Amino acid sequence: MDRAAIIGVGMTKIEANKSRETFADMAWEAVNKALNDAGMTINDIDNVVTTSSDFWDGRTISCMAVGDASGAAEKNLSCVEGDGTFGAFYGYTRALSGSYKTTLVTGHSKGSQCISSLITNSAFDPIYERGLGMDMITACAMQANAYMDRTGLKPEDTAQVSVKNHGNALKNPLAQLPMNISVEDVLKSEMIADPLRKLDCSPVSDGCCAIIIANESVAAKFKRKPVWVKGLSFCTDSFFFGDRDLARSNALAQAAGNAYRMAGIKDPKKEIDLVELYDAFTYQELLWLEEMGLAEYGKAANSLKKGEYNLDGRLPVNPSGGLLAGHPVIAAGLYRIAEVVLQLRGEAGEHQVGKAKTGLAHGVNGLCGQSHCVWILDQEK
Amino acid sequence: MAKRVAIVGTGQTYHKSHRPDVNGQELINEAVQRALADAELAIKDIDAILIGNMDHFEGINYVDCWSVDGAGGVMKPVIKITTGGTTGASLAIGGYHMVASGMFQKVLIIGWEKNSESDTTGAITTAFDPVWDRQVFAGAISGLAAEAQAYMARYGASDRDGARVSVRDRKHATNNPYAQLRKEVSLEDVLASPMLADPIHLLDVCPRSDGACAVIMANEDVAGRICPVPDWIWGTSAHNTQAMIGDVDWGRLKSMEQCATEIFKKAGIKEPRKELSVIEMYQPYSFAGLIWIEDMGIVGHGEAPRYIWDGNTDMGGELPVNPSGGVISCNPIGATGLIRCAEAAMQVMGKAEGRQVPDVKFAVSTGFGGCMWTNMLLHGKKKPN
């Protein structure tokens, strides 16, 4: 198998409402930033994968809205629906299949134009579940309860995630919600769905991210030092909650295990230097870290309390501020990859972490983390 | 090093206008079980699953996650590709790259649609730009009618030429037990059927169907062991030419020309008319059967009507097109492109039964959809170099 690297990234600022910009305007900005970052022109790109959702975009064939702005005219194009980490996975295989050398991957969404509860309600089974009025937030509240019941964690434990990530966002100029808050602020914020309060939830956001993936045969030809894809895996759990252990995530444990194996990582706790993960809700950061094998089950909150996941901690988690500081659905996982790339290049600016040789980026599809995608990125081939 | 890729098994449902007896997952499962049986594999042998449909037809969000019980995807990598009418063919191309990359040895590809649950035209209309295009361009048929009118004006073709293509595909469909519409029609029947969008009559155009298709692709290390005559994928291509309606060169399908040029060059095919044995074309209405074989380079511009009237694309002709009866006989949209791929594979593998074209060396399958998008795969009996 050939190897591939990420050689350019571009992100728009994440904002609550980019009312002056269409999907294409956002894609245009992110794509041009990625091309400039890589020192490439669109002529150096030989195929394009866009990531979008007909549901979140309110458009059938939603990729049509960004194809031109992503430079896909005259080029081979496809579209993955789901989180950006999955779109990037397909882009990665296209850079390795012998057909292409450089894949441009984009992911966009405008939460400002969405009614999130209706869109996520339609992810439930139409006959047995939808009529109950479930949506992403109520479902994740159930998962939070299951997780906290199993581990004995309290709302003040999970609230620390919000404090840390909104605090990290103060140092990230692209973040939507930089905030200096305390655990008390989180616990006093409006109750959305017990036990999730407003500051436990990621915001509604607009944004677009683009990355460029290159086959090893051309990766060194351009401006940036390549960041290598060492491990990559994804896995899907059962659909019905009754078939799953909601307090755990077997799919993430399997995806992470496979990604570590592919990357030759034996002890992820020692070998992973930073993590950008899909913290749509505070409890998820802890649960996901544990299922990735980066903390014992139920113990991530202790490490968090000790400051181990802070920017200057042993294992910085979401130094960018994560989804809690800005959550453009679909694009969110692609932002995680782009952030890890910046960290491994030492170019993350004020939110740069110390040692950053190997990083993990993570994305989620479906309800309560039914499907996970794990990327291991590295400075070295 | 990239791996060579072959199709080692296919399966599809008996497509119907309405399948109230099954839900979506059960429909998917029928196709999956048939593909696994065809390849003599079990679901545990499958390394990853690629699934697609068009969201707004069934109104199910995150279909990749919802479908796992029917697809067999629990605790497997599952990913979704959606590109509109081209979805099925985009899935086939996706499966090719996932296997060729070396990441997976055996991939299950599923396209499906339960159109009976949809407002098809209402959903398609939302594909177009909400400010500039949507008010003047409803559904799929308006664009197709514009294309047919432009072609007729440019090359002097008539609605009888279109009807001749319809007669061909509907006759071919009688050989295909999976097709939804299996009834021979005459030229007069087509021309007397209700006018939907001038010049397209009811019998010129595709139905909407409930159905699913599954295809299993494997890499060169295992393909020969799974299947005595695998269908080797020689190349894939995808192009689209429209962002706004005004960008289209109406009467020509530039994306088809781009795909054909790219693939035939890669495979060293100089005279596709002579070197191809069969074409399974995503031809949503009869006039496309004229226009697009010209853009594919089978005959020159304006020459398709003569070529088709002479019977060259009929079963037994020089280059049979759509032995399955094609899209106008059956159209579960998210599966339609993948059915073309599966039918081409069956032709190469010698499994096409009553619709088998003799001695198939190379076959082409295509996909078509919104934004004048063409997908193409070249299938061959010989392993590619």
First to last CA, chain A: 13
pLDDT at residue A192, rounded to an integer? 98
Residue A318 backbone class (left: φ over 0; alpha: ψ -120 to 50; beta: rest) = left
Q: Can you tell me the distance from the alpha carbon of A11 to that of A34, in angstroms, rounded to the nearest whole number?
A: 8
For residue B314, the 8-state DSSP code is: S
Substitution target in B63, B93, B101 with the highest count of A β-carbons within 10 Å is B101
Q: Can you tell me the distance from the alpha carbon of B145 to that of B153, in angstroms, rounded to the nearest whole number?
A: 12
Q: Nearest to residue B37, comparing CAs of B227, B196, B165, B177?
A: B227
Q: Nearest to residue B238, comparing CAs of B139, B48, B369?
A: B369
What are the C-alpha distances in Å from B381 to residues B224, B234, B348, B349? 12, 10, 6, 7
Asked if residues A10 and A34 have their Cβ atoms less than 8 Å apart, the reply is yes
Does residue B242 carry a pLDDT above 80? no
Could you tell me if residue A301 is inside a domain? no
3-state secondary structure B292-310: HHHHCCCCCCCCHHHHHHC
pLDDT at residue B146, rounded to an integer? 93
pLDDT at residue B132, rounded to an integer? 83
Q: Cβ contacts of residue B226 below 8 Å, gap of 6+?
A: B8, B9, B39, B40, B41, B106, B218
Does residue B49 carry a pLDDT above 90? yes
Q: Do A237 and B74 touch (CB under 8 A)?
A: yes
Q: Can you tell me the distance from the alpha carbon of B132 to that of B135, in angstroms, rounded to the nearest whole number?
A: 7
Helices (H), B194-332: 223-226, 254-267, 272-275, 288-295, 304-309
pLDDT at residue B137, rounded to an integer? 74
CA angle B96, B97, B100 (to 5 degrees): 85
Q: Nearest to residue A292, comparing CAs of A275, A307, A311, A309?
A: A275
In whole numbers, what is the pLDDT of chain B averaged over residues?
96
Does residue B135 carry a pLDDT above 90? no
Q: Nearest to residue A281, comparing CAs of A183, A136, A174?
A: A136
Question: Which residue is it, tokens 């906290």?
Answer: A148
3 state DSSP class of B245: helix
- Domain with A62, as residue range(s), is 4-115+204-221
Q: Can you tell me the distance from the alpha carbon of B154 to that of B135, in angstroms, rounded to the nearest whole number?
A: 27
Asked if residues B361 and B210 have their Cβ atoms less than 8 Å apart, the reply is no
Length of chain A: 381
Select from B65, B81, B82 the Cβ nearest to the Cβ of A236: B65
Q: Can you tell me the distance from the alpha carbon of A16 to that of A22, in angstroms, rounded to the nearest whole number?
A: 14
Q: Helices A136-151 and A155-169 sit at what angle, rounded to 10 degrees?
A: 120
pLDDT at residue A77, rounded to an integer? 94
Band (B138; pLDDT cuts 50, 70, 90): confident
What are the C-alpha distances in Å from B101 to residues A92, A111, A214, B3? 8, 34, 13, 7
Does residue B31 carry a pLDDT above 90? yes
pLDDT at residue B203, rounded to an integer? 98
Same fold, B5-120+209-226 and B126-207+234-380: yes
Tell how strand B78-80 and strand B210-219 pair up: unpaired
Q: Can you tell me the distance from the alpha carbon of A234 to that of A373, in angstroms, rounded to the nearest whole number?
A: 4
Q: Do A1 and B61 touch (CB under 8 A)?
A: no
pLDDT at residue B121, rounded to an integer? 87
Q: How far is B370 from chain A (nearest CA, A)?
A: 7
Cis peptide, bond prior to residue A195, ω within 30 of zero: yes
Which DSSP string do the residues of A247-263 spell out, in sequence order? TS-HHHHHHHHHHHHHH
Asked if residues A366 and A236 have their Cβ atoms less than 8 Å apart, the reply is yes
CATH architecture for segment(s) B5-120+209-226: 3-Layer(aba) Sandwich (3.40)
Q: Can you tell me the distance from the alpha carbon of A186 to that of A200, in angstroms, rounded to the nearest whole number?
A: 7
Q: Can you tell me the distance from the alpha carbon of A164 to that of B133, in angstroms, rounded to the nearest whole number?
A: 46
| Chain segment A179-199, per-residue pLDDT in tens | 999 999 999 999 999 999 999
- B126-207+234-380: CATH number: 3.40.47.10
A260 at B interface, C-beta within 8 A: no
Average pLDDT value for residue range B56-70: 95
Q: How many domains does chain A have?
A: 1
| Chain segment A88-146, per-residue pLDDT in tens | 999 999 999 999 999 999 999 999 999 999 999 999 998 889 999 999 999 999 999 99
Q: Do B127 and A59 touch (CB under 8 A)?
A: yes
Max intra-chain CA distance, chain B = 57
Each domain of chain B, given as residue ranges in start order, spans 5-120+209-226, 126-207+234-380
Band (B73; pLDDT cuts 50, 70, 90): very high
A184-222 in b/e burial notation, b at 16+ Cβ within 10 A? Answer: ebbeebeebbebbbebbbbbbbbbbbbbbbbbbebbeeb
Q: In chain B, whose CA is at the least distance from the CA of A372?
A: B77
Q: Is the ipTM of this complex over 0.85?
A: yes
Asked if residues A65 and A23 have their Cβ atoms less than 8 Å apart, the reply is yes
Q: How far is B171 from chain A (nearest CA, A)?
A: 32
Q: Can you tell me the distance from the alpha carbon of A194 to that of A117, in angstroms, rounded to the nearest whole number?
A: 16
Question: Which residue is it, tokens 């150096």?
Answer: A44
Range from A262-276, B56-70, B83-97, B137-151 carrying the lowest mean pLDDT: B137-151
CATH number of the domain bearing residue A47: 3.40.47.10
B182 at A interface, C-beta within 8 A: no
Q: Do A236 and B371 touch (CB under 8 A)?
A: no
Chain A stretch 57-116, residues whose beta carbon is closer than 8 A to a beta carbon of chain B = 58-61, 63-65, 67-68, 72-82, 86, 89-90, 92-99
A235 at B interface, C-beta within 8 A: yes
Q: Can you tell me the distance from the alpha carbon of B255 to that of B268, in angstroms, rounded to the nearest whole number?
A: 20
Average pLDDT value for residue range B125-148: 86
For the record, the structure tokens of B261 come out as 């040029």
Q: Can you tell me the distance from the alpha carbon of A153 to that of A298, in angstroms, rounded to the nearest whole number?
A: 8
Cα B318 to chain center, whole Å? 21
First to last CA, chain B: 13
Q: Cβ contacts of residue B261 below 8 Å, gap of 6+?
A: B297
Backbone angles phi, psi at B37, to 5 degrees: -65, -40
Could you tell me if residue A179 is inside a domain? no
CA angle B67, B29, B170 (to 5 degrees): 110
Q: Which residues of B touch A63 (CB under 8 A)?
A: 82-84
Q: Helices B254-267 and B288-295 sit at what angle, rounded to 10 degrees?
A: 50
Which DSSP string do the residues of A184-213 spell out, in sequence order? HHHHHSPEEETTEEGGGBPPP-EEEEEEEE
Q: In chain B, whose CA is at the least distance from the CA of A126?
A: B60
Asked if residues A172 and A350 have their Cβ atoms less than 8 Å apart, the reply is yes
Q: Nearest to residue A110, comparing CAs of A100, A123, A97, A119?
A: A119
Q: Which residues of A touch B240 (CB under 8 A)?
A: 67, 72-73, 77
What are the C-alpha distances in Å from A191 to residues A134, A177, A198, B87? 17, 19, 6, 41
Band (B245; pLDDT cuts 50, 70, 90): confident
Chain A stretch 336-365, residues whose beta carbon is closer than 8 A to a beta carbon of chain B = 365
Q: Nearest to residue B107, comparing CAs of A332, A64, A97?
A: A97
Note down pLDDT in tens along chain A; length 381 residues: 999 999 999 999 999 999 999 999 999 999 999 999 999 999 999 999 999 999 999 999 999 899 999 999 889 999 999 999 999 999 999 999 999 999 999 999 999 999 999 999 999 998 889 999 999 999 999 999 999 999 999 999 999 999 999 999 999 999 999 999 999 999 999 999 999 999 999 999 999 999 999 999 999 999 999 999 999 999 999 999 999 999 999 999 999 999 999 999 999 999 999 999 999 999 999 999 999 999 999 999 999 999 999 999 999 999 999 999 999 999 999 999 999 999 999 999 999 999 999 999 999 999 999 999 999 999 999
% of chain B beyond a pLDDT of 70: 100
Max intra-chain CA distance, chain A = 56
Could you tell me if residue A167 is inside a domain? no
Q: Nearest to residue A371, comparing CAs of A203, A231, A239, A209?
A: A239
Band (B370; pLDDT cuts 50, 70, 90): confident
Select from A81, A126, A367 the Cβ nearest to the Cβ of B80: A81
What are the C-alpha distances in Å from A167 to residues A238, A273, A328, B294? 35, 20, 19, 61
Does residue B140 carry a pLDDT above 90? no
B258 at A interface, C-beta within 8 A: yes
